[in-house]
A = this chain, B = another copy of it.
Amino acid sequence: MIANTPKPPYYAVIFTSIRTEIEEDYNLTAIKMVEMAQEQEGYLGHESAREDLGITVSYWQNLDAIKNWKMNLDHLLAQKLGKSKWYAAYKTRICLVERDYGFDRFL
């Protein structure tokens, strides 16, 4: 689903990644990290898709919320396993969403 974010400004974290072929614990950890992120203070939503490239965008009220989630202990472990096992490469971009607009033919 398209994330139902509030009126800007708010923050987006764009996480773009290329996977290795190692599947061990990946799906379970990914599901767990989404569940945990959703419980964080300041979490606003997320969107995700993967083909050759994976793109996950999470949305946050402010930089403190992003920093707190980055430093969460379970998330730190997942980040470490991400580097050692699951990802061939990734890039994380911290962004201030200044403006947004959209369209929904059923609204």
Contacts and interface: CB of A to CB of B under 8 A. Distances in A.
Copies in the complex: 2
A107 to B, nearest CB: 8
A74 to B, nearest CB: 19
A98 B88 contact: no
Contacts of A29: none
A95 B33 CA distance: 24
Interface string A88-107: 11111111111111111110
B93 A96 contact: no
Given A49-B49, A88-B106, A96-B96, 9 more contacts: A1-B53, A2-B17, A12-B14, A47-B55, A49-B54, A90-B102, A91-B103, A92-B102, A96-B98
